[in-house]
């Protein structure tokens, strides 16, 4: 997969699609530019989930966001999973397909969590190979998201953003830049989140996630159960200045409020982006 | 230095089995000890899996209450680490677990309730297939009826409950106090199906259940009528069979018929 694959166009401000909001979306066509759908939720044989997704897809662009690719795992790639993913992509034609830069288990076990990796040459070689394999299989570039992490490995040989930058250089993958995750990981591992942003190749960033988290005093946990906090909005401003207009969603997985509340929060993102980009020269790259 | 594969193996053992060896690979921060940070993953692991189970078995959760459900779920998780890439399938073995494992196996309503919830989940996203309509049968000549066979829709399940678990389910569904568990003198036969996209169930009278089970095996209509006449009396057996058939069709339980030669 070459780096020359054309960058998908900016699609505006979206939300993570959650089943509790299905009726409202179908009945009222809310003003959301696009929806990010959890791929695994639609890896089912049939019934309503797939029919509803079809109806929503007819009205909105979608992006498929997975949690089980386990790209950094040393276990063999799960070809059944990839076949499912490819089939789903053929059916729903997402603008792009994303998953996380992490692993979820080895020896046939799935921990259903986004587990951390050591930032070593060995891991970089391994993950790069896997990204190539997956991209070849899917016939399109992959988009990878930086995760929140709580531990770091003594053996790491580089910083997280150096690892990510080199991975995109080697594989041509796109980045789903989770602003909240950078905030969380920066606090947990005691670095400046702006340094992270400065270290990421701006032209590879395809999407932003913003979300809420839980502060535990000595560390922060990425819980997606609260509104986006001011610090994360500040970091979003900083990221916008560096990366320019990037398709954005708000992620909410727990304590999910009515859709109207999320749309209000999304309007905050729109406004911040409009204000920031009007003051910034990067906007001309739109 | 161990390789990435061994490191991941060790990390996984730390999360699943509470093994501490991986701590040697992790670093403290100025604010927190690495063991506390590792616990974030350990806690998240169990919490997330318990949540999958409580989402898929919400009536069982309501019936047992948070604490007892949590205890049961921990037992299940330890015995069945997830081997699926999709959370949707993590808890599918819970009914069997409850039927096989002490102390739950001595409370058969738990297994029945879980089996009912599992069947409801399964029919909800079962494969799509055409639904047989009464009008489809108008092409069958009158002398063809004895040779008809029927195929159940993939979004159907048949359950046999020794307990009144369906009553417990209904009470919980209506947010009422569940009735006391009863071991029934006669097994309750239940059909679970999809109607208008939603999962439903109803108990079947025993003659209808017998006819369904035979029809699902591909037994032809004439034989179904004979079986009904032996089972429930000769009087109007064909009429009763037609009534059951009509009800199945109006509930969307069948996907197609075949006319055997
Ligand atoms: Fe995210």
**Interface confidence (ipTM) of the complex:** 0.95
B135 and B77 belong to one structural domain:
no
pLDDT in tens, A91-111: 999 999 999 999 999 999 999
Residue A2 has pLDDT above 70, yes or no: no
Q: Which of B12, B40, B125 sits opposite A44 (nearest CB)?
A: B125
Assign residue A215 a region: left if phi > 0, alpha if psi is -120 to 50, beta otherwise?
A: beta
CB nearest A45 (choices: B31, B48, B127): B127
Q: How many domains does chain A have?
A: 1
Render pLDDT for B17-36 as a digit per residue (tens, 0 to 9): 999 999 999 999 999 999 99
B116 and B150 within one domain:
yes
Secondary structure letter of residue A20 according to DSSP: G
Rounded Cα–Cα distance for residues A128 and A163 (Å): 10
Q: What is the pLDDT of residue B97?
A: 98
Q: Both B75 and B147 in a single domain?
A: no
What DSSP letter does each residue of chain B carry, written as one string? ---HHHHHHHHHHHHHH---GGGGGB---SSS-HHHHHHHHHHHHHHHHHHHHHHHTHHHHHHHHHHHHHHHHHHHHHHS----SSGGGTTTTHHHHHHHSTTGGG-HHHHHHHHHHHHHHHHHTSPP-----GGGGGGS-GGGGGGEEEEE-TTEEEEEEEE-HHHHHHHHHTT-PPPPP-EEEEEEEEEEEEETTEEEEEEE-HHHHHHHHHHHTT--HHHHHHHHHHHH-STTHHHHHHHHHHHHHHTT-EEEEEE--
Same domain for B65 and B148, yes or no, is no
Give yes or no for residue A1 having a pLDDT over 60.
no
The total domain count for chain B is 2
Cβ atoms within 10 A of the Cβ of B130, count? 10
- Residue A49 sits in which domain range? 13-280
Last residue of a domain, one of B66, B92, B118: B92
Task: Give A242's Cβ-side CA count (13 Å radius).
Answer: 21
E strands in chain A: 13-16, 34-38, 62-65, 97-100, 143-145, 174-178, 205-211, 214-215, 220-221, 247-251
pLDDT digits (tens, 9 = 90+) for B181-223: 999 999 999 999 999 999 999 999 999 999 999 999 999 999 9
- Residues written for chain B: 261
Nearest CA in chain B to A217: B31
Question: Among A47, A111, A150, whose Cβ lies nearest the Cβ of B37?
Answer: A150
Same domain for B130 and B176? yes
A121 in any annotated domain: yes
Q: Are B73 and B53 in contact (CB under 8 A)?
A: yes
A253 touches A285 (CB < 8 A): no
> Of the given ranges (A4-8, A111-115, A178-182, B97-101), which has the lowest mean pLDDT?
A4-8
Residues B6, B86: one domain?
Answer: yes
Query: Cβ A151–B37 below 8 Å, yes or no?
Result: yes
Q: Determine contact: A110 vs chain B, CB below 8 A.
A: yes
User: Mean pLDDT over all residues of chain A?
Assistant: 95
Q: Give mean pLDDT, residues B27-47.
A: 97
A15–chain B Cβ distance below 8 A for any pair = no
Q: Do B85 and A152 touch (CB under 8 A)?
A: no
pLDDT tens for A114-157 read 999 999 999 999 999 999 999 999 999 999 999 999 999 999 99
Residue B123 shares a structural domain with residue B41: no
Q: Is residue A3 part of a domain?
A: no
Q: How far is B153 from chain A (nearest CA, A)?
A: 12
- Ligand 1 centre and the CA of A182: distance in Å? 10
Q: Residue B235 has what pLDDT?
A: 85
Nearest to B125 among A45, A78, A113 (CB): A45
- Partners of A103 on chain B (C-beta within 8 Å) are 8
Residue B216 included in any domain: yes
Q: Quick check: is A286 in a domain?
A: no
Contact A44 B36 (CB under 8 A): no
Residue B120 to residue B201: CA distance in whole angstroms:
8
Identify the residue whose tokens are 């509803």.
A52
- CATH number (domain holding residue B190): 3.90.930.50
pLDDT at A277 over 60: yes
Nearest-Cα residue of chain B relative to residue A74: B5
- Which of chain A's residues have a Cβ under 8 Å away from the Cβ of B155? 46-47
Task: Name every chain A residue with its beta carbon within 8 A of the beta carbon of B9.
Answer: 106-107
Please tell me the predicted confidence (pLDDT) of residue A281: 59
* Cα gap B240→B242, rounded to integer Å: 5
Residue pointed to by tokens 């594989």 = A171
- Identify whether residues B21 and B136 lie together within a single domain: no
Asked whether residue A2 is domain-assigned, the answer is no
Is A177:A221 a contact under the CB 8 Å cutoff?
A: no
Identify whether the C-beta of residue B160 lies closer than 8 Å to the C-beta of residue A78. no
How far is B224 from chain A, CA to nearest CA, in Å? 30
Q: What is the mean pLDDT of residues A15-25?
A: 97
Contact B215, B111 (CB under 8 A): no
What pLDDT digit, counting tens, does each position of A31-50 carry?
999 999 999 999 999 999 99
Determine, for residues A49 and B125 on separate chains, whether the beta-carbon distance falls below 8 Å. Answer: yes
Residue of B nearest to A191 (CA): B29
The CATH number that applies at residue A261 is 3.20.20.150
**Gap from CA of A147 to ligand 1 centroid (Å):** 7
**How close does chain A come to B17, measured CA to CA in Å?**
12
Q: What is the pLDDT of residue A279?
A: 85
- The HSE-up count of residue B29 (CA atoms within 13 Å, CB side) is 20
**Bridge partner residues of B216 (DSSP):** none
Q: Do B79 and B119 share a domain, yes or no?
A: no
For residue A283, is pLDDT > 50? no
Tell if the CB–CB gap between B29 and A221 is shorter than 8 Å.
Answer: no
In a domain? residue B98: no
Chain centroid to CA B21: how far?
39
* Same domain membership, residue B69 and residue B192: no
Measured between CB atoms, does A188 come within 8 Å of chain B?
Answer: yes
At residue B2, the pLDDT reads 86
Inform me whether the pLDDT recorded for B121 exceeds 60.
yes
User: Residue B140's pLDDT band (boundaries 50, 70, 90)?
Assistant: very high
Flag whether pLDDT at A180 surpasses 60: yes
User: Which residues of chain A have a CB within 8 Å of the CB of B194?
Assistant: 47
pLDDT of residue A4: 59
For residue A8, what pLDDT is reported? 97
Q: What is the pLDDT of residue B31?
A: 95
Could you tell me if B74 and B176 lie in one domain? no
Residue B232 has pLDDT above 90, yes or no: no
From the list B31, B52, B83, the residue facing A108 with the nearest CB is: B83
pLDDT band (50, 70, 90) for residue A284: very low
Q: Report A:224-283 residues touching B (Cβ under 8 A).
A: none
Segment A249-260 shows an average pLDDT of: 95
Q: Quote the domain boundaries for residue B138.
A: 107-261
Q: How far apart are CA B210 and CA B204, in angstroms?
A: 9
Dist CA B138 CA B213 (whole Å): 24
Residues B62 and B161 in one domain: no
Residue A122: inside a domain: yes
Q: Please give the Cα distance from A101 to A213 (Å, whole number).
A: 19
In which residue are the tokens 């040393």 written? Answer: A74
Cis-peptide into B103, omega within 30 deg: yes
Q: Following DSSP, what letter does each residue of A172-228 receive, concatenated? A: --EEEEEHHHHHHHHHHHT--HHHHHHTS-GGGEEEEEEE--EE-SS-EE----SPP
B102 in a structural domain: no
């Amino acid at each position: 997969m070459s780096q020359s694959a054309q960058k998908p166009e900016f699609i505006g401000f979206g939300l993570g699609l959650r089943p509790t909001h299905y009726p409202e979306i179908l009945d009222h066509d809310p003003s959301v530019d696009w929806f990010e759908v959890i791929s695994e939720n639609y890896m089912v044989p049939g019934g309503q989930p797939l029919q509803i997704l079809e109806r929503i897809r007819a009205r909105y662009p979608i992006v498929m966001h997975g949690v089980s690719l386990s790209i950094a795992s040393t276990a063999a790639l799960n070809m059944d999973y990839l076949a499912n993913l490819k089939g789903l992509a053929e059916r729903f034609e997402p603008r792009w397909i994303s998953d996380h830069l992490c692993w979820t288990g080895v020896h046939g076990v799935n921990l259903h969590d986004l587990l951390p990796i050591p930032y070593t040459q060995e891991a970089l070689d391994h993950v790069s190979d896997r990204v190539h394999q997956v991209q070849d299989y899917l016939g399109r570039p992959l988009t990878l998201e930086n995760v929140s992490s709580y531990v770091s490995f003594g053996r790491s040989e580089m910083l997280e953003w150096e690892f990510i930058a080199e991975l995109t250089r080697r594989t041509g993958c796109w980045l789903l830049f989770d602003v909240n995750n950078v905030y969380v990981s920066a606090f947990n591992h005691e670095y400046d989140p702006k340094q992270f942003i400065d270290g990421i190749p701006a032209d590879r960033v395809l999407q932003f996630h913003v979300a809420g988290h839980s502060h535990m005093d000595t560390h922060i946990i990425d819980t997606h159960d609260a509104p986006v906090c001011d610090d994360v909005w500040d970091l979003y401003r900083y990221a916008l200045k560096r990366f320019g207009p990037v398709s954005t969603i708000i992620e909410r997985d727990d304590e999910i409020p009515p859709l109207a509340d999320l749309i209000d929060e999304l309007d905050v993102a729109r406004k911040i982006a409009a204000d920031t980009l009007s003051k910034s020269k990067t906007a001309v790259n739109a | 230095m161990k390789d990435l594969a061994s490191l991941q193996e060790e990390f996984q053992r730390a999360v699943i089995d509470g093994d501490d060896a991986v701590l040697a690979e992790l670093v403290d921060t100025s604010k927190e000890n690495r063991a506390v940070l590792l616990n974030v993953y350990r806690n998240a692991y169990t919490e997330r899996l318990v949540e999958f189970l409580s989402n898929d078995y919400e009536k069982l959760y309501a019936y047992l209450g948070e604490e007892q459900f949590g205890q049961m779920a921990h037992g299940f998780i330890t015995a069945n680490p997830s081997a699926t890439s999709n959370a949707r399938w993590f808890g599918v073995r819970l009914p069997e677990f409850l039927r096989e494992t002490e102390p739950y196996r001595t409370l058969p309503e738990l297994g029945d309730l879980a089996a009912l919830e599992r069947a409801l989940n399964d029919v909800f996203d079962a494969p799509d297939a055409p639904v047989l309509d009464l009008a489809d049968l108008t092409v069958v000549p009158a002398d063809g009826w004895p040779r008809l066979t029927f195929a159940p829709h993939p979004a159907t399940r048949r359950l046999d409950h020794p307990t009144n678990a369906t009553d417990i389910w209904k009470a919980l569904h209506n947010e009422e106090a569940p009735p006391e568990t009863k071991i029934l003198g006669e097994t309750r036969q239940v059909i679970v199906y999809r109607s208008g996209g939603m999962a439903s169930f109803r108990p079947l009278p025993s003659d209808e259940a017998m006819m369904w089970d035979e029809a699902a095996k591909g037994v032809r209509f004439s034989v179904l009528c004979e079986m009904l006449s032996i089972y429930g009396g000769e009087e109007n057996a064909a009429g009763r069979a037609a009534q059951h058939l009509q009800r199945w069709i109006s509930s969307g339980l069948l996907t197609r018929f075949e006319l055997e030669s």
